[in-house]
Amino acid sequence: MNRRQLVLGAGGLLSSLYFSGKALSASEQVVKLFASESKVDLVRLGTPTNLWAFNNAVPGPEIRVRRGDQLRVRVKNELREETTVHWHGIRLPNGMDGVPYLTQQPIKSGEEFEYSFVCPDAGTYWYHPHQRSFEQVGRGLYGPLIVEDKEPLAVDREITWVLGDWRLQSDASISNDFGHLHDITHAGRIGNTVTVNGHVVENVAVEAGERIRLRMINAATARIFGLDFENHSPLIIAYDGHSVEPHSPENKLVVLAPGTRIDVLLDFNGEADGKYRVVDRYYRGRDYRLLNFAYGTKRSEKARSGSPQLSPNQLPEPDIASAVRHEIVLDGGMMSGMQSAIVDDEELDLRALIRKRLFWAINGVAATSHVHKPMATLKLGQSCVLKVVNRSGWPHPMHLHGHAFRLLSRNGQPAKYREWLDTVLITAREEVEIAFVADNPGDWMFHCHILEHDVGGMKGVIRVA
């Protein structure tokens, strides 16, 4: 059928879709995605990089729906291996969650699968394969999924930034060392080239006086971003899609771990003709200039009205007093004290683990696949508090499928905003408490979104029944 790349939605929101390529509005039709090998000019030097991509683009097309809409997506697998698509952050029925062997059979090479589900929450989401994701995502298979609110926030423009990170060689080809042992045992595959919406970006044109809603998605397999907007003051309005009390980021850095989305409001109060940097400062001593905001000569005087606070999604509020509690311990990686782990019901020592390329464990279990005994079983409708203890010397962005959870505390200190998340960054030796209502039946992944840690054993299942 038609592979129309741009379909205008009703609200005219797409006119604001500056900078993020193609959009597919999904309210009236079946969105078509095909995964295939492709070439994309990431570095804009005229030498395209061989990648894997949805619809020949990195990121794949921006899918936009309205809150409460049914989304139907037909996925064709034109890769030479199996795949699936996971709709990261969407609270959907288990059978649509895209986890191979756990929630569906993988889509074989040459075959198709139709996903169909309601998007109950407004916000910024994304999609990516869950099959060998360290390589499939790492080679470029991902795209943004935006669920529009009924009442859009009053801004002049809305921009989506999908952040990517690549390990490129000098001829712009991708380094093929996916699943490298050093990456698995350390911080994951951190690359040398950061892209915004699939390109190395020099300047983003802005106008003095305008207010922009910037939706950021970290699609990198391992790189954590700590974005410093230098002369600008981003106001965080949403985490992982969900409204939060508008606030400035701590230490001025907007921190996005893999899997995380953050929406900010930016008021462009700089000088006409000015240039202002955005710099990633997460890794000490390794600052990386992402891009510049380049002001035009005009100044727009736009009246502001209304609060910058987004309307909340209808999420079930956990009852902390009656909640069941589970403790989840993360361990492994370089320089940890982990001596052994259970693999397929058998205790293996470090040497045997290394032979199997497993270095990470949750509650002492190193997972080899998506299917195994649940680390916790929750009664449907039950409130639950998870205390997640990171015993390792590495940060882990832990992602729960099928639910959003509230962040209650970090190292025993109550969280200031009690934000709703689906991915929580737990730094080295840190412990966090999160809470949610187990209201979505099924087996749900709980895993590290540093995808080299995920393949190295750091994943498990939480059962809601």
Residues contributing to the site for Cu ion (CB under 5 A):
396, 448, 450, 453
Cβ nearer to ligand C2O, comparing 167 with 449: 449
Q: Verify binding: residue 130, ligand C2O, rule CB under 6 A.
A: yes
* CA angle at 120 for the pair 119 and 121, rounded to the nearest 5°: 100
Q: Which residues pair with 54 in a beta bridge?
A: 35, 57
Binding to ligand C2O by CB under 6 A, coded x per residue (else -) over 370-409, reads -----------------------------x-x--------
Cβ nearer to ligand C2O, comparing 189 with 211: 189
Scanning 109-117, 242-250, 324-332, 441-449 for contacts with ligand C2O by CB under 6 A, the matching segment is: 441-449
Q: Choosing among ligand C2O, Cu ion, none, which partner's interface includes residue 88 (Cβ < 5 to 8 Å by kind)? A: ligand C2O
Scanning 37-45, 72-80, 161-169, 444-452 for contacts with ligand C2O by CB under 6 A, the matching segment is: 444-452
Cβ nearer to Cu ion, comparing 232 with 453: 453
CA distance 334 to 320: 36
Cβ nearer to ligand C2O, comparing 259 with 456: 259
Residue 118: CB minimum distance to ligand C2O, A: 19
Q: Verify binding: residue 242, ligand C2O, rule CB under 6 A.
A: no
Q: Which of 353, 386, 445, 464 binds ligand C2O (CB under 6 A)?
A: 445
Cβ nearer to Cu ion, comparing 450 with 455: 450
Cβ nearer to Cu ion, comparing 135 with 210: 135
Residue 156: CB minimum distance to ligand C2O, A: 31
Q: Which of 88, 211, 261, 370 binds ligand C2O (CB under 6 A)?
A: 88
Cβ nearer to Cu ion, comparing 139 with 189: 189
Residue 366: CB minimum distance to Cu ion, A: 13
Q: Verify binding: residue 91, ligand C2O, rule CB under 6 A.
A: no
Residue nearest to ligand C2O (CB): 88
Residue 370: CB minimum distance to ligand C2O, A: 9
Binding site for ligand C2O (CB under 6 A): 86, 88, 128, 130, 259, 399, 401, 445, 447, 449
